[in-house]
Homo-oligomer: A and B are copies of this chain.
Amino acid sequence: MTSPSHGGDPEFESQRAHQILKEVLKKVKPDQAEVERLERFARFITDKIYSAAASLFIEIEVMLVGSAARGTWVSGEHDLDLFMLFEANQTRAELELNGIEIGKYVVKQDYSDEEFYCISYEKEYAEHPYIKAVFGDRMGGKYEVDIVPCFAVTDPAKIESAVDRTPFHNQYVLSKIAGLEDEVLLLKQFMRGIGVYGSELKRQGFSGYLTELLVIHYGSFLKVLKEAANSWKAGMRIDIESHGKYEGADPLIVIDPVDPMRNVAAALSIENFGRFIDGAHRFLESPSIDLFFPKEPAPVEIDEFDEIASRRGTRFIFIAFDRPPVVEDILYPQLRRSATGATELLHREGFRVYRDAVWAGRHHAVILLELEVATLPAIKKHWGPPVWKRRHAAKFRSKHEGATYGIHIKDGRYLVDIERKYTDAKDFLGANLRKGTLGKNLKNADFAIIEGKKIFDLLEEEDFKVFLRTYFEPRLTT
């Protein structure tokens, strides 16, 4: 199975592929001016952090990490991760307090006479609290900056938290990436195009670091695609440094070159793993630039939604929670767990969910349930003990003596038809949702259960309507 193409003449397809990759690079690779501008800003902000630390009498080393440090950033994407390395002899609390103090000192300065200035900032929470800021230049350019504290450890085996690992990732990639940067750009853009880029828990896709490792391992964008298409399947294991000790059942396992216990692809869902293989097939069979730059999915408006729903003949029930004040990386896993909980609750009762999905906006966190069986009869079966369990049997019989339809015996057990309290899934959910498994922050959140197109009264956000489009029509066709 090494034939690179099914679609037509392999030679021709391959030439076409190379042509397309050139076009893609033209769009995603920053030009000299953009690179210089970002480097200039990186130097500027690095100096600001050093001088802020000096003013506060705190000793740190500043390190630019991430794609900006490695030349693997896509044009227009100006995200800078600036890590402040603290000596490892400090406490975690000191590191966090000092880290925030320096960050605030940086963003609150007077930039009126400077080349760059701070537009906004906020305190965010990952492993440690850190400052996230947006800077601008006088030409309308914008820069997202994360100013993150971590411990300067000498050995990645001794890290205190995940962020401490980042400088090692940076060193590793820098030592291997020279000459492969363009390949990384192609892979990132391809993954973005087919919707699998980003390891945040909303997306569950490939991280930037993971794309870099894949290119380092296989050697080029096309080689990554060919390997994915020809030899990847669930359980695929890549161990560049041949030192892996990680044992897990993830769809893709890429052992971290700086940490044998860690799977870099741990956040990748089986769906996105599959989507990437599918995308690789499609590109190799029939190369197209559309895979890199797909059309934006059109929002689904109320009338179309109504029309689709009635064509499908299913019923749509939305559980709309008031959004709890947590970040997406915390919210999405809870929403998914809650969707599974609600589905199990419905299934235990005899309703049937066709498919589910979750979405979160500014004010709401929503579970979409598409129901295949949304109404049930007025009666349901209620099983009793085996007839030969004499005391239980007597109790059951006396309890159900007045049963409308008498007591049955089936497979040696008593069985009565009892009235179902809720014959409609919507009513049932309304009364029982809190009995199911709900994520921690959703347990006490207010919620409304909304059927069908009424959801448009509550949610007018464009992003929700786009979410509906991807629900109905996933981006798997070119």
The CA-CA distance from A373 to B383 in the complex, in Å, is 20
Q: Is the CB of A278 within 8 A of B387?
A: yes
The CA-CA distance from A354 to B417 in the complex, in Å, is 10
Contact with B along A371-403 (1 / 0, CB 8 A): 011001111010000111010011001000100
Residues of B close to A476: CB separation below 8 A: 406-409
With A423-B313, A477-B406: A281-B393 Cβ-Cβ less than 8 Å? yes
With A234-B388, A251-B412: A394-B354 Cβ-Cβ less than 8 Å? no
The CA-CA distance from A234 to B386 in the complex, in Å, is 9
Q: Is the CB of B312 within 8 A of A378?
A: yes
The CA-CA distance from A312 to B311 in the complex, in Å, is 29
Residue of B nearest to A410 (CB): B271
Contact of A373 among B229, B373, B390, B407 (CB under 8 A): B373
Any chain B CB within 8 A of the CB of A6? Answer: yes
Contact with B along A257-282 (1 / 0, CB 8 A): 00000000000001101110110011
Any chain B CB within 8 A of the CB of A446? Answer: no
Which chain A residues in 174-227 approach chain B with CB under 8 Å? none
With A386-B233, A394-B6, A417-B312: A409-B274 Cβ-Cβ less than 8 Å? yes
Distance to closest chain B CB from A347 (angstroms) = 12
Any chain B CB within 8 A of the CB of A1? Answer: yes
Residues of B close to A397: CB separation below 8 A: 278, 281-282
The CA-CA distance from A372 to B374 in the complex, in Å, is 12
With A386-B234, A388-B232: A379-B312 Cβ-Cβ less than 8 Å? yes
Any chain B CB within 8 A of the CB of A12? Answer: no
Q: Is the CB of A278 within 8 A of B393?
A: yes
The CA-CA distance from A406 to B378 in the complex, in Å, is 37
The CA-CA distance from A334 to B103 in the complex, in Å, is 81
With A271-B409, A412-B251, A477-B407: A354-B381 Cβ-Cβ less than 8 Å? yes
Contact of A1 among B270, B311, B390 (CB under 8 A): B390
The CA-CA distance from A14 to B313 in the complex, in Å, is 62
With A234-B412, A386-B233, A407-B476: A313-B378 Cβ-Cβ less than 8 Å? yes
Residues of B close to A405: CB separation below 8 A: 472-473
Residues of B close to A354: CB separation below 8 A: 377, 379, 381
Q: Is the CB of B372 within 8 A of A350?
A: yes
Which chain A residues in 220-265 approach chain B with CB under 8 Å? 229-230, 232-234, 251
Any chain B CB within 8 A of the CB of A141? Answer: no
Distance to closest chain B CB from A45 (angstroms) = 41
With A232-B388, A233-B388: A409-B281 Cβ-Cβ less than 8 Å? no
Residues of B close to A275: CB separation below 8 A: 387, 409
Which chain A residues in 263-314 approach chain B with CB under 8 Å? 270-271, 273-275, 277-278, 281-282, 285, 311-314
Residue of B nearest to A478 (CB): B401
Distance to closest chain B CB from A460 (angstroms) = 24
Q: Is the CB of B474 within 8 A of A387?
A: no
Residue of B nearest to A406 (CB): B473
Any chain B CB within 8 A of the CB of A413? Answer: yes
29 sample A-B contacts, Cβ–Cβ < 8 Å, listed by A number: A229-B390, A230-B390, A233-B386, A233-B388, A251-B412, A271-B409, A271-B410, A271-B411, A274-B386, A274-B409, A274-B412, A274-B413, A277-B387, A278-B414, A281-B387, A281-B390, A281-B397, A312-B417, A313-B376, A313-B377, A313-B378, A313-B379, A350-B352, A350-B372, A401-B477, A405-B473, A406-B473, A406-B477, A408-B476
Interface residues, chain A, with chain B CB atoms under 8 Å away: 1, 6, 229-230, 232-234, 251, 270-271, 273-275, 277-278, 281-282, 285, 311-314, 350, 352, 354, 372-373, 376-379, 381, 386-388, 390, 393-394, 397, 401, 405-414, 417, 423, 472-477
Q: What 7 pairs between A and B have smallest CB-CB spacing? A: A313-B378, A313-B377, A233-B388, A274-B409, A406-B473, A274-B387, A314-B377
